[in-house]
Amino acid sequence: MASASASLLKSSPVLDKFEWVKGQSLRQPSVSVVRCHPTAAPSTLTVRAGSYIDELVKTAKTVASPGRGILAMDESNATCGKRLASIGLENTEANRQAYRTLLVTAPELGKYISGAILFEETLYQSTVDGEKIVDVLVKQGIVPGIKVDKGLVPLPGSNNESWCQGLDGLASRAAAYYQQGARFAKWRTVVSIPNGPSALAVKEAAWGLARYAAVSQDNGLVPIVEPEILLDGEHGIDRTFEVAQKVWAEVFFYLAENNVLFEGILLKPSMVTPGAESKDKASPETVAKYTLSLLQRRIPPAVPGIMFLSGGQSEIEATLNLNAMNQAPNPWHVSFSYARALQNTCLKTWGGRPENVKAAQDALIQRAKSNSLAQLGKYTGDGESDEAKEGMFVKGYTY
Ligand code: 13P
């Protein structure tokens, strides 16, 4: 822990922002707690970072590297089944393996993709040729990540809203995932605008994300913090903006309360757009203006990367919106962590046929490259297919 970055963090003015915890009784520091000022009394000025502090910061920076973003391929078996059904395939382990092999072996994927989020099955899975998927990713220069939440269930006492399960046993699961090669984690919870959101649902979402983030960091995994504000609804963009401000304020309040190291997290927000059923449509410039002002108001510059979800936007929409956000320098790396907006054309092109694997991989690379350009603010939209312009919004989508 004597490296340059650890000592930088220990004396960093950024961490001095945690001075507000002075006087509160925090738990006694253990070996896994870093003190901002080694001379201060142990019960003050503690920032929880675990014994992995250097590695967390490095992992987060690697994932948030210029011109690259995340391939989200962490569909649960149930969701993967829906994807496979859309191309007439059965939801068998062999079919899931064939599809995931296609994705991770796409040539030069690592030029555009810095991290891949996996479902647990895939973290322990091999390709059809018997090589560990994790090893294939590492060879491509891609950091393996793991979805750790256990999905959404109804939140009693709310307005038909949900909460996200998965904290029980998370520490031991996270430690095992780290052993298996994962270096970052993802926890997706949702907030519904048409159903409220109620104060209870927002608080529960924020608290769950913060607990998960603290546990993940303690076990060497960079947490992706994802409170997805669902696209569902007829509301306009101003309402989305208002809800997003509230949600992110609470998320950062609880992240700070849980002593999460901001330099070692990544965020996965929804872009600020009108509801999917709204009569208004917003241009990429408008989406960028609203989304960037949300981020500027709520996200500290200590956070290295903002990796947007696509949430049901078409492939092109998601790329254009990202590109619009990168027309001027931002305090954070502003990039993508798309599932549907990277995979849609690829999956259809494959159709489950071995002879289409190359064309499907080309389609994946085309999307990855377009989004890489958008991360750099250099995307022009030239040469895109009609397929890529189709929206994929599904009401009440689960992951
Ligand atoms: P989409 O980009 O399809 O919204 O996926 C979001 C997600 O959380 C995947 O990890």
Instruction: Ligand 1, residue 392: give the atom nearest the CA.
Output: 3
What does the pLDDT look like over 217-246, one tens digit per residue? 999 999 999 999 999 999 999 999 999 999
CA 226 / ligand 1 centre spacing (Å): 10
Average pLDDT across the chain, whole number? 88
pLDDT bucket at 47, cuts 50 / 70 / 90: low
- From the list 226, 250, 263, 317, the catalytic residue is 226
Q: Which residues line ligand 1 (CB under 6 A)?
A: 72, 74, 117, 186, 188, 226, 309-311, 338-341, 399
Do residues 320 and 350 lie in contact, with contact meaning Cβ atoms separated by under 8 Å?
A: no
Instruction: Ligand 1, residue 342: give the atom nearest the CA.
Output: 2
Q: Is the pLDDT of residue 39 over 70?
A: no
Q: Which domain holds residue 76?
A: 51-381
Do residues 343 and 103 lie in contact, with contact meaning Cβ atoms separated by under 8 Å?
A: yes
What does the pLDDT look like over 252-301, one tens digit per residue? 999 999 999 999 999 999 999 999 999 999 999 999 999 999 999 999 99
Name the pairing type of β-strands 113-118 and 266-267. unpaired
pTM across the whole model: 0.87
What does the pLDDT look like over 248-266, one tens digit per residue? 999 999 999 999 999 999 9
Q: What is the CATH number of the domain that holds 133?
A: 3.20.20.70
176 vs 159: CA distance, rounded Å: 36
Task: Determine the pLDDT at residue 240.
Answer: 98
Residue 319 lies inside a defined structural domain of this protein = yes
Do residues 42 and 35 lie in contact, with contact meaning Cβ atoms separated by under 8 Å?
A: yes
Q: Is the pLDDT of residue 65 over 70?
A: yes
Name the pairing type of β-strands 113-118 and 143-147. parallel
226 in active site: yes
Nearest residue (by CA) to ligand 1, atom 6, is 309
Instruction: Ligand 1, residue 341: give the atom nearest the CA.
Output: 2
Residue 9 lies inside a defined structural domain of this protein = no
Region of 181 (left: φ > 0; alpha: ψ -120 to 50; beta: rest) is left
What does the pLDDT look like over 355-381, one tens digit per residue? 999 999 999 999 999 999 999 999 988
Residue 38 lies inside a defined structural domain of this protein = no
Residue 2 lies inside a defined structural domain of this protein = no
Give Cα separations from 363 to 22, 97, 332, 347 (angstroms): 53, 19, 28, 9
Residue 316 lies inside a defined structural domain of this protein = yes
Q: Number of structural domains, the chain?
A: 1
